[in-house]
């Protein structure tokens, strides 16, 4: 059977901006038979995420993520439907997911690498398992639980950068649900600002591309900042940290403004900002959601419950077609998405 796949065509370089041309689509032959323990799946949805930028380098700079190889199939979060199974846990028609799903229309996988998902948890919106009811949701929820130190009723103010993205758009809502009295988002367009305040319940939003961020934050956070959910790093984060209160907390989710630069993770703060952090005893610890696997099951159930109760609003930016994976990745890295960026490979959910 002929299938399409996406391979890494070229590397952007450690200090380069990724472009769609770094990826290419090719056709390959998929075996007609599967071995014991394997399943053949048809891909429904694939995820593109900021963390993938380091996988485009020869060295990811981390010990838990491996680099993509040139001319080899690219992989990431994916969801699909089982078409044939020789694995005890799966039968034809099951919906399954993996963090290392090849960017391929159909694929034969080791059944042990897959996890079955229940469509009822997402009211049939299977792509949500790659976003709000998946890794980005868990990252936001567990990050806030573990590093945010929110106490309901104590009038805490939370600021979220990258607030209209996959994690940010959830983090602000979760901040409210867990007891923050004020949540302010920072993003890059007026459309995103309006989305945060009118649809997601943020109390206010700052467009960092217009006006003075420091002045706007001072106005919108008169009591200072107690919790900062940081998706971006760089100048924006330096500005927020300067307005944080004593004994406040930074949830270090991502540093997308730094991902096209050859710097360590998390990037060091400028000396003046680091001095503020130390003097005010602001925590800024690296947060890695994969260290909290024992909390995943209860986290998914909590996120699903909030979604079903209408307390967690979910927004996606959906691109269609495997051939547009590279374009979707480039767009996501430059803020073209609102909510989670998803690529739909096939919408046919029956076998």
Rounded to whole angstroms, the Cα distance separating 108 from 86 reads 11
Rg (CA), the chain: 21
pLDDT reported for residue 38: 98
pLDDT of amino acid 286: 82
pLDDT value of position 305: 98
pLDDT greater at residue 151 or residue 254: 151
Please list the residues that pair with 72 across neighbouring strands: none
User: Which tens digit of pLDDT belongs to each residue from 284-316?
Assistant: 988 889 899 999 999 999 999 999 999 999 999
Residue 149 is predicted with a pLDDT of 97
Q: From residue 55, give the alpha-carbon distance in Å to each of 50, 74, 126, 202.
A: 10, 9, 26, 33
Please report where in the chains the tokens 């059944």 appear, as a residue. 111
Dihedral Cα 335, 339, 342, 344, nearest 10 deg: -120
Percent of residues, the chain, with pLDDT higher than 70: 99
Average pLDDT over all residues of the chain? 96
Query: What would the mean pLDDT of 328-343 be, rounded to a whole number?
Result: 96
Name 251's bridge partners. Answer: 229, 285
Task: Provide the pLDDT for residue 263.
Answer: 74
Alpha carbon of 256 to those of 64, 92, 206, 234, 334: distances in Å?
18, 39, 18, 9, 9
Helix H segments across the chain?
135-147, 168-177, 190-198, 213-220, 234-242, 271-279, 296-308, 325-333
Residue percentage of the chain with pLDDT more than 90: 91
What was the pLDDT predicted at 313? 98
Per-residue pLDDT, 132: 98
Asked if the model's pLDDT at residue 255 lies above 90, the reply is: no
Q: What is the pLDDT of residues 58-92, one digit of tens each?
A: 999 888 899 999 999 999 999 999 999 999 999 99
What 3 state SS string does 22-41 have? HEEEEEEECCCCCCCCEEEE
Sign of the C-alpha dihedral computed for residues 198, 199, 204 and 209 taken in this order = negative
What is the per-residue pLDDT for 265?
Answer: 77
pTM for this predicted structure: 0.95
Q: Is the model's pLDDT at 257 over the cut of 70?
A: no
pLDDT at 324: 98
The dihedrals phi and psi of 224, each to the nearest 5 degrees, come to 80, -175
């Amino acid at each position: 059977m002929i299938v399409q796949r996406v391979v890494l065509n070229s590397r952007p370089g450690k200090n380069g901006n990724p472009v769609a041309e770094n990826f290419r689509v090719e056709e390959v032959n998929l075996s007609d038979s599967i071995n014991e323990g394997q399943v053949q799946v048809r891909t429904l949805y694939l995820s593109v995420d900021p963390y993938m930028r380091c996988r485009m380098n020869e060295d990811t700079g981390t010990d838990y993520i491996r680099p993509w190889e040139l001319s080899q199939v690219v992989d990431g979060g994916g969801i699909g439907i089982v078409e044939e199974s020789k694995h005890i846990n799966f039968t034809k028609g099951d919906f399954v997911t993996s963090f290392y799903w090849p960017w391929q229309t159909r694929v034969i996988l080791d059944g042990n690498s897959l996890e079955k998902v229940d469509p009822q948890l997402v009211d049939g919106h299977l792509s949500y398992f790659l976003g709000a009811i998946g890794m980005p949701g868990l990252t936001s929820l567990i990050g806030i639980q573990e590093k945010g130190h929110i106490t309901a009723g104590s009038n805490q103010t939370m600021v979220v950068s990258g607030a209209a993205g996959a994690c940010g758009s959830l983090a602000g809502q979760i901040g409210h649900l867990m007891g923050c009295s004020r949540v302010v988002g920072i993003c890059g367009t007026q459309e995103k600002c309006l989305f945060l305040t009118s649809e997601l319940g943020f109390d206010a939003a700052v467009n960092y591309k217009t006006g003075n961020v420091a002045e706007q934050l001072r106005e919108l956070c008169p009591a200072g900042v107690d919790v900062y959910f940081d998706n971006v790093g760089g100048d924006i984060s330096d500005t927020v940290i300067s307005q944080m209160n004593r004994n406040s907390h930074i949830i270090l989710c991502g540093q997308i403004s730094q991902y096209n630069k050859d710097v360590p993770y998390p990037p060091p703060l400028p000396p003046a900002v680091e001095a503020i952090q130390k003097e005010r005893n602001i925590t800024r610890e690296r947060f890695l959601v994969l260290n909290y696997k024992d909390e995943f099951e209860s986290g998914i159930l909590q996120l699903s419950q909030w979604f079903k109760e209408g307390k967690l609003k979910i927004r996606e930016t959906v691109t269609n077609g495997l051939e547009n994976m590279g374009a979707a990745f480039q767009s996501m890295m430059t803020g073209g998405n609102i909510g989670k960026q998803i690529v739909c490979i096939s919408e046919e959910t029956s076998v």
